[in-house]
Amino acid sequence: MEWEVTVVDGRGRSTPLIVEAAEHATVAGLRAALADADDRNIDLGVYLGERRLDDDARLADVGLTDGASLYLDWPGTPARTAGAGWELAVVGGPVAGASIALPAAGGVVVGRAGGCDLVLDDPEVSRRHAEVRTGAGGGAITLTDIASRNGTARRGFRIDGSDRQIGRAHV
């Protein structure tokens, strides 16, 4: 069986994913595979919408459909609901489709390191490459280079315009 889903973690980062599973595969098996792929412990459960999926349930029986969003913690967590309605999305390059909801006020770090809010698996991206900040109340959004090796550019030029390029990814 196969489903095209979006996996959303506790920080609001979303990743498109194709889930291929045997008929007897369980939610616990999916959770373990996601933890292995992301090199971290996912112990808060997997949610389909606002419904927590039982670890012992077969994937074939939980109502999973193409286009579904799977959350790796409760979908009402402040990190997801407090946002200003803005989303930082990768629209081109090797990690196209990755995205993260921006907080109502504060910033997210973009880079290659696993601890970044939006991880770009791209050798041209520094471990901690840039920060995207949202002003109080969802005001102005700024993109700041964090002393990255290759800089942050748009079509080969330093930051200018609404389409920002970090490594080979267009965000």
Residue 79 has φ and ψ, to the nearest 5°, of -60, -30
Nearest to 117 by CA among 131, 96, 104, 105: 131
Strand stretches in the chain, DSSP E: 2-8, 13-20, 46-48, 51-53, 69-71, 87-89, 99-101, 106-111, 118-119, 130-134, 141-145, 153-154, 157-158, 165-166, 169-170
Work out the pLDDT band at 159, boundaries 50, 70, 90: low
**Average pLDDT, whole number, for the chain?**
77
**Residue-level pLDDT at 171:** 57
Tracing tokens 């939980």 back to the chain, one arrives at 62
Q: What is the mean pLDDT of residues 69-96?
A: 68
pLDDT: is 17 or 36 the higher one? 17
The pTM assigned to this predicted structure is 0.50
Q: What is the mean pLDDT of residues 97-119?
A: 85
**Residue-level pLDDT at 25:** 94
Residue 134 has φ and ψ, to the nearest 5°, of -110, 130
Residue 49 pLDDT > 80, yes or no? no
Residue 16 pLDDT > 70, yes or no? yes
Q: What is the mean pLDDT of residues 103-121?
A: 86
Sort 45 into a burial class: Cβ within 10 Å, 0-12 / 13-18 / 19+: middle
